[in-house]
Structure 1
Amino acid sequence: MSSELVVVSAAFEHVKQLDELYGDAIPSAVIEQGFNLNGETVLLMNRAAGIFKPRQMSSGVLSIKTTIPRKGAGINIYNDQLTDDGYYQYSLQKGDPRGGRNKCLWQAYESKQPFVYFHAIAPAVYKALWPCFIEDIHPDGGYAKILVGIAQQNDKNSIVEYKLPDAIESRYMVRETKVRLHQSSFRAAVLDVYKNRCAVTGMAQPRLIDAAHIVPDSQVYGKQLVNNGIALSNLHHRAFDRNLLGIDGDYRIHISSEIKEHLPNGFVDKAFLACDKQILNLPSCKDYYPNRESLAEKFERFRRK
């Protein structure tokens, strides 16, 4: 195994741990800490540059990234193009398409070397995609075609090997990751406007809070508005989806009779009954309030149930 691949494989293991801990929303501050390899700190990315190779690698690239700038009070629209093209289009660094940091991309392309793609879902928050490969580079167009690869365990020596996908695998892998990015960006935007608090209970633990859809994602055709989401704890999200918790068009919370049947019960009383007939905790900006018409339509289903 080449020295570059040793570093890359160690980076993949570290990123896997970050993914298990933070899911699809890894803070940049955590990524920038890097990881330890043979007593040395190996950095994972550079804050200023999108194409990164640490000093422990003589060629190739360890990571690339896309960013979302900090603008305004948050993201109010996420409209990812869920195209079934089988690749990501990544812009080359300005200037010489074969020079500067672009040279690292060419080296990774020529050696079929895998790397990590940190794709921003919010300012300074990333989803990690790995292993990724460069399928082709278009210097005239100023971009590289990035594929999401496949990791396989080698039965003979227990070493994980990374390979380029075929055309069918590529389309599947890229589409799946784009859907995940789409959902992760929507969640980040919704939690941002609710200040990382559950709109029902006020609980402030982001890892236990979801962005609940009012209108199902399958019915919005890839276009996500923040006012189609409400920040809810995992528990209240499930109750909302199953019409055990309703929110009317005036933002008033209603608890179903099915839940009330379990009273008296200390947990049910604190988690649900204390919220009954209360007003939802709303974002500070009215532009981000949940859509009244969508809530009213969903509340009708809650009432019928």
Structure 2
Amino acid sequence: MTAAQDTDTRLRLAMFAHLDRLGAKYPDGIPSAVINDFIFDGVQTRLIVQPGIRKPAQLSAALTIRTAYTPPGAAAPYDDQFGPDGRLRYKWRGTDPAHADNRALREAMVRRSPLAYFVPVSKGVYQAIYPVFLVEEDPEAHEFAVDLNENTDEPPEQEETPLERRYARRLTSQRLHQIMFRPKVLRAYETRCALCRLGHASLLDAAHILPDHHQRGEPIVPNGLTMCKIHHAAYDANIIGIRPDRVVEVREDILAEVDGPMLRHGLQEMHGTTLFLPRSQRDRPDPSRLEERYEQFRSAA
């Protein structure tokens, strides 16, 4: 191994260890300033830069890629999306194949170098997905294919069918959206339980209104509610229901029970209360999903 290869390997391993620590500390999104507080060989090394492709001077291949944060209603500067093969498409820097950033991406692809991919949760806050690999380049579309899956070492033994490619696309898209579901839901609800307003992140879940296996159970904020663990469990067990008008109901047999303070204050007093809602209309729970889930609660009751 040459000195340059050794530096490349050590830097990437150090970066992943750095992101492991930050991910444990900031499970719902890492501030960019904290991500960039990365020291390698005694030197601070930025991992997130404008416009989004990072190649430190001591490397020849790209180290990280980033999708820019787009405020609601604004047009994204780069249209990163999923291709028919199920892989994320990451746009070149501009349209010049010889641009230094594009050469750095190409070098990472040729070397099969693992990168970190930063996806915005909100302005200046990211989820880190790693390792990811650049596996193909489309010069006509000015983009690279990014593999977010686990199995990146071996090519398929035979060409995939269109159905298999669509399935792979769905799995990859689901993986990315599931990673982003919790931080986006908790940020929309200001890290508070939508029922009791508890504000301790470690005690909160991002609950689905309609479950994963449902046709409309997508991991998107309008299908999510921030709930503390007791209310999440009660919701899943149909002890608590939420009407389409966002009023909470508690099952009649639970209301009639006599027990300790958790039952009284934690469940029974929720009956008739109204959900704490996100400030943004677009993040608020979808009434049609609430209605369908409420009918399930009514049937169970």
TM-score category of the 2 structures, normalised to the smaller one: 0.7 to 0.9
Q: Which of residues 36, 45, 48 in structure 2 aligns to 1:45?
A: 48
Q: How does 1:245-256 map to 2 (within 5 A)?
A: 245-256=240-251
- Report deviation, 1:128: 2.1
Q: How does 1:105-144 map to 2 (within 5 A)?
A: 105-144=105-144
Q: Describe the shift of the 1:165–1:121 C-alpha distance in structure 2 as closer, same or farther (beyond 3 A).
A: farther
Gap regions ≥5 residues in structure 2: 75-79, 158-163
Q: State yes or no: 1:167 paired with 2:156.
A: yes
Gap regions ≥5 residues in structure 1: 74-79, 152-162
Query: Which residue number corresponds to residue 266 of structure 2?
Result: 271
SS of the residue corresponding to residue 100 of structure 2 reads: coil
RMSD: 3.5
Q: Describe the shift of the 1:120–1:225 C-alpha distance in structure 2 as closer, same or farther (beyond 3 A).
A: closer
Q: Describe the shift of the 1:220–1:226 C-alpha distance in structure 2 as closer, same or farther (beyond 3 A).
A: farther
SS of the residue corresponding to residue 144 of structure 2 reads: strand
d(CA) in 2 for partners of 1:183 and 1:51?
24
TM-score when normalising by structure 1: 0.77
Q: State yes or no: 1:98 paired with 2:87.
A: no
**In terms of mean alpha carbon deviation, does 223-232 or 129-138 score higher?**
223-232
Q: Describe the shift of the 1:295–1:85 C-alpha distance in structure 2 as closer, same or farther (beyond 3 A).
A: same
d(CA) in 1 for partners of 2:30 and 2:130?
14
- Report deviation, 1:92: 0.5
SS of the residue corresponding to residue 129 of structure 1 reads: strand
Deviations 1:234-269 (A, max 9, x none): 331222122121112332222235655774323333
| Contact kept? 1:197, 1:209, Cα under 8 Å | yes
- Report deviation, 1:60: 0.9
Q: Describe the shift of the 1:287–1:37 C-alpha distance in structure 2 as closer, same or farther (beyond 3 A).
A: closer
TM-score when normalising by structure 2: 0.78
Query: Which residue number corresponds to residue 223 of structure 2?
Result: 228
Letter of the 1:59 partner, please give it.
S
Structure with bigger strand share is 1
Letter of the 1:104 partner, please give it.
A
- Report deviation, 1:4: 0.8
SS of the residue corresponding to residue 23 of structure 1 reads: coil
When the two structures are aligned, how many residues end up with a matched partner? 285
Q: Percent identity?
A: 32
Q: How does 1:156-235 map to 2 (within 5 A)?
A: 164-167=153-156, 176-221=171-216, 226-235=221-230
d(CA) in 2 for partners of 1:271 and 1:191?
20
d(CA) in 1 for partners of 2:46 and 2:248?
47
Letter of the 1:40 partner, please give it.
V
- Report deviation, 1:288: 4.8
- Report deviation, 1:103: 1.8
Letter of the 2:103 partner, please give it.
K
Query: Which residue number corresponds to residue 76 of structure 1?
Result: none
d(CA) in 2 for partners of 1:299 and 1:224?
19
